[in-house]
Structure 1
Amino acid sequence: MNEDNISIHEHYSGGVRLPRQMFTVNVFGKRVYATVTCRSSVVKKWIYKIRFERRFKKDRLIVGLGVQWCPNLSYRVAATLQLCVGRQCLVFQIIHANNIPRILRTFLSDPFTTFVGVRNYVDFDMLKNKYNLYVTRIVELGSMANSRGASMETMASEILGFHGIKKPEFIGRSRWDDRGLTKDQVQYVNEQLKSVSVFLFASV
């Protein structure tokens, strides 16, 4: 990761136990506000907020989507679901969720919302097979950028000029099923989602 252009700050609650962690991730001068949680009530509030803020763009809402899986299994099981709209990102620790809110199911299956990621069809299969979550409108970012098969690092560098975004293998293969994610893990997923978001919304 590029420490000169990418940084992360965790917001502490002063000893009060909250059902979420809050972070600000700075990616090449663009701030991302990340919420990390396993609580369905927090997920509901996040989606309600996004829908309210984008209520006049409902027919063209574009969402960055990613999944991290458990590294210690012989088959892939989604541990976290990441969503990003503009500057707001959600990291839902779905493997530890008390339940999956209905509004998440309807959000993912909304035919007027487009979900974009990199090499993302495997992600959608994991969501469907384990959690019975269906994503209706799927777009692979590489196909939009005429760079099918290219990595997020390559597209971020060549198209956005974000030189230095990396996906360290040791973080990618770390324990995404742990209840407490590290700053490196949160930064890892938000760098990617912010790059998707900037590519789509150039000015966010």
Structure 2
Amino acid sequence: MAISIVDYELPYDTHNEYDVTFYGDRIHTMLTNSPAMVESWLSTVTLANPNHRIVGLDVEWRPNFSRNSDNPIATLQLCTGPNYAGSLQIAPGTVLPGVCLDPNCLIFQVIHSESIPQSLSNFLANPAFTFVGVGIESDCEKLLLDYELRVANAVDLRGFAARRLGFPDLRNAGLKRLASAVLGKELQKPKRVTMSRWDSQWLTYDQIQYAAVDAFISYEIARQLNLRGA
């Protein structure tokens, strides 16, 4: 299978963790609505690792089925590289407490959170980080309108990939097309998940996989295209 999920089944009310695997890439994922757990996750983003300067960003919300509805963002997804310094030398088979060698994804159920942690506001507003996605400008605008969260440095991968690869038609591509063109991987985006109840307190495995993979693919496309070095 191209995608699978392992549930850690943690005995906490604040969060749970999963390993989402997409074409052999394992994405360590935290799902939470707790401001304290968001702060904890952000604290693991090691500034010494250059890959952490790139952050895949995506949002989901309950679909608007009427002209007058405007449902707020339900989940914010962030994906970064492994939480260790890039220069760290680790022997094969070595296990280090608190060190994750896989990409890290946060799925923050912001709609169910009692507050927005200041550390998240500071993180998104830090121009040292480059937040990447497809159609990210509209996502950032909605984050600002719904939760007063400002993203300081956002890059739409469509225009960047078009310039980097020399294919102007990628300027109008979706994430599926970019995943195929840049990564050579087929991304499934079933409508039953895209149009599902993202404001539910209990997300399904399909929703968790969908949310984690979207953020990861944005991060991985930017990494593969060497966005920071461009």
Which residue number corresponds to residue 162 of structure 1?
185
Q: Structure 1 residue 72: deviation in Å?
A: 5.0
- Structure 2 residue 77 is matched with structure 1 residue 54: no
Q: Among the aligned pairs, what percent are the same residue? A: 35
Which residue number corresponds to residue 65 of structure 1?
57
Greater CA radius of gyration, 1 or 2?
A: 2
Q: Structure 1 residue 191: deviation in Å?
A: 1.7
Question: Unaligned regions of 5+ residues in structure 1, if any?
Answer: none
Which residue number corresponds to residue 43 of structure 1?
38
Deviations 1:141-183 (A, max 9, x none): 11111021201111111221102x1111111111111111110
Q: Structure 1 residue 70: deviation in Å?
A: 2.0
Q: Which AA in structure 2 matches 1:42?
A: M
- Structure 2 residue 149 is matched with structure 1 residue 152: no
Q: Aligned residues, how many?
A: 194
Return the alpha-carbon distance in structure 2 between the equivalents of residues 68 and 34 of structure 1.
Answer: 16
Partners of 1:11 and 1:21 within 8 A in 2: yes
Secondary structure, counterpart of 1:66 in structure 2: strand
Return the alpha-carbon distance in structure 1 between the equivalents of residues 214 and 179 of structure 2.
Answer: 9
Partners of 1:76 and 1:126 within 8 A in 2: no
Return the alpha-carbon distance in structure 2 between the equivalents of residues 130 and 156 of structure 1.
Answer: 29
Partners of 2:3 and 2:22 within 8 A in 1: yes
Secondary structure, counterpart of 2:44 in structure 1: helix
- How is 1:68-87 mapped onto 2 (pairs within 5 angstroms)? 68-71=60-63, 74-86=69-81, 87=103
Partners of 2:132 and 2:222 within 8 A in 1: no
Return the alpha-carbon distance in structure 1 between the equivalents of residues 71 and 190 of structure 2.
Answer: 19
- Structure 2 residue 93 is matched with structure 1 residue 89: no
Return the alpha-carbon distance in structure 2 between the equivalents of residues 202 and 31 of structure 1.
Answer: 16
Secondary structure, counterpart of 2:145 in structure 1: helix
Q: Structure 1 residue 126: deviation in Å?
A: 1.2
Taking only aligned residues, the RMSD between alpha carbons, in angstroms, comes to 1.8
- Structure 2 residue 18 is matched with structure 1 residue 5: no
Q: Structure 1 residue 5: deviation in Å?
A: 1.5
More deviation, 150-159/65-74: 65-74
Question: Unaligned regions of 5+ residues in structure 2, if any?
Answer: 82-102, 163-169, 226-230
Q: Which AA in structure 2 matches 1:64?
A: G
- Structure 2 residue 126 is matched with structure 1 residue 104: no
Q: Structure 1 residue 56: deviation in Å?
A: 5.2
- Structure 2 residue 28 is matched with structure 1 residue 21: no
Secondary structure, counterpart of 1:75 in structure 2: coil
Q: Structure 1 residue 202: deviation in Å?
A: 3.5
Q: Which AA in structure 2 matches 1:55?
A: A
Deviations 1:60-86 (A, max 9, x none): 711000000122571141111000002
* TM-score in terms of structure 2 length: 0.80
